[in-house]
């Protein structure tokens, strides 16, 4: 027969073993702690109006909430985003609609979200003392653009088309991409008008050097101006990560639309622009982002034709082969 101390020692051992087994059981039943999925996101221009959500979503921790560990890379142009995807270093690309044309040429990616269908960040400006008041007054005039076959070139040609003018109804003058070059051309009346960034014209207008006549959205209408792309590799290997990114993007743009003060503060810090300037741009961009990333037939058709107009492609492509709706939020 065991002594009392012996029985107590055995009981203590059995009790400790029971606790250990219970702890192991609880650990087995507890949900595992998942690490955040790393995702490399390349932007064509990180501070461009249509691309800011990529950075703001990271700043606010929204993408992290969706289980993503985002590494951002500002690549300085759509072409470099596509180069990154081709090299396998970029998972998600944030850029313009023109990138869809390069899918036709073999870029290993697919469009997964139409994030903006307007271009309020482009406008037409005239010299401050110009007698020209409305778009129809520009017939037969010289209009400044950045360069041939650029977005501003296409916007100028769309103006002529919208007004029913022939191709030679306006004369296009390439001024380069620097706002200072456009300002000088307008002040010296080298051109009668210029197509450029709305906010680039803002300080010039305050100095009474130029006057903004109209936003290009007044005559272009819908166009798939902002697109999210996913590399074929990430689509095939981790489609849930793509789905999470689209969900995080939409949560970010919805936040931006309903939190002006907070958004302006973050944008001002990112762009190093004065808060009052950012607040003005915020108002200009209001309503720019789509609510659900859905691809709009009208804006896709305008974009499709632009590929031919800008000589990116010899013929208009079948747009349905260039995007997928697989990663869009399910409609209730």
pLDDT confidence bin for 332, thresholds 50/70/90: low
Question: What would the mean pLDDT of 184-207 be, rounded to a whole number?
Answer: 91
CATH, domain 122-220, list 3.40.190.10, 3.30.1490.20, 3.10.520.10, 3.30.390.50: 3.40.190.10
Q: Is the pLDDT of residue 10 over 50?
A: no
What's the pLDDT tens digit per position in 249-265? 999 999 999 999 999 99
Contact between residue 258 and residue 280 where contact means Cβ atoms under 8 Å apart: no
Catalogue the E-assigned strands of the chain: 37-43, 68-74, 92-96, 109-116, 122-127, 142-145, 171-174, 193-197, 210-215, 226-231
Query: Of 191-200, 222-231, 235-244, which has the strongest mean pLDDT?
Result: 235-244
Q: What's the pTM? A: 0.80
Q: Is the pLDDT of residue 295 over 60?
A: yes
Q: Indicate where the chain has its CATH 3.40.190.10 domain(s).
A: 37-118+223-321, 122-220
CA-CA distances (angstroms) from residue 254 to 34, 48, 228, 283, 288? Answer: 27, 18, 16, 15, 11
Assign domain 37-118+223-321 to its CATH superfamily.
Periplasmic binding protein-like II (3.40.190.10)
Q: Is the pLDDT of residue 236 over 60?
A: yes
């Amino acid at each position: 027969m065991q002594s009392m101390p012996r029985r107590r020692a055995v009981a203590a051992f059995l009790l400790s073993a029971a606790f250990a087994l219970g702890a192991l059981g609880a650990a087995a039943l507890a949900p595992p702690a998942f690490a955040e999925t790393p995702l490399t996101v390349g932007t064509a221009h990180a501070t461009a109006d249509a691309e800011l959500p990529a950075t703001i979503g990271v700043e606010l921790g929204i993408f992290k909430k969706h289980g993503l560990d985002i590494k951002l890379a500002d690549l300085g142009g759509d072409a470099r985003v596509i180069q990154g995807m081709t090299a396998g270093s970029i998972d998600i690309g944030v850029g313009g609609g023109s990138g869809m044309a390069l899918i036709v040429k073999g870029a290993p990616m697919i469009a997964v979200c139409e994030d903006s269908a307007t271009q309020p960040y482009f406008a037409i400006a005239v010299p401050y003392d110009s007698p020209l008041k409305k778009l129809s007054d520009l017939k037969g005039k010289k209009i400044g653009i950045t360069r041939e076959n650029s977005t501003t070139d296409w916007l100028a040609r769309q103006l002529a088309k919208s007004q029913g003018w022939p191709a030679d109804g306006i004369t296009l003058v390439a001024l380069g991409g620097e706002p200072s070059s456009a300002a000088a051309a307008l002040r010296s009346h080298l051109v009668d008008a210029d197509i450029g960034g709305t906010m680039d014209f803002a300080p010039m207008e305050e100095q009474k050097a130029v006057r903004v006549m109209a936003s290009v959205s007044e005559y272009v209408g819908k166009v798939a101006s902002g697109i999210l792309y996913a590399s074929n590799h990430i689509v095939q290997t981790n489609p849930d990560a793509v789905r999470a990114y689209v969900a995080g993007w939409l949560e970010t743009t919805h936040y931006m639309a309903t939190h002006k003060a907070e958004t302006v503060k973050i944008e001002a810090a990112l762009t190093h622009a004065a808060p009052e300037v950012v607040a003005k741009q915020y108002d200009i961009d209001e309503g720019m982002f789509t609510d659900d990333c859905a691809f709009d037939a009208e804006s896709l058709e305008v974009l499709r034709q632009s590929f031919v107009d800008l000589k990116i492609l010899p013929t208009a492509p079948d747009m349905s082969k260039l995007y997928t709706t697989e990663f869009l939020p399910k409609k209730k």
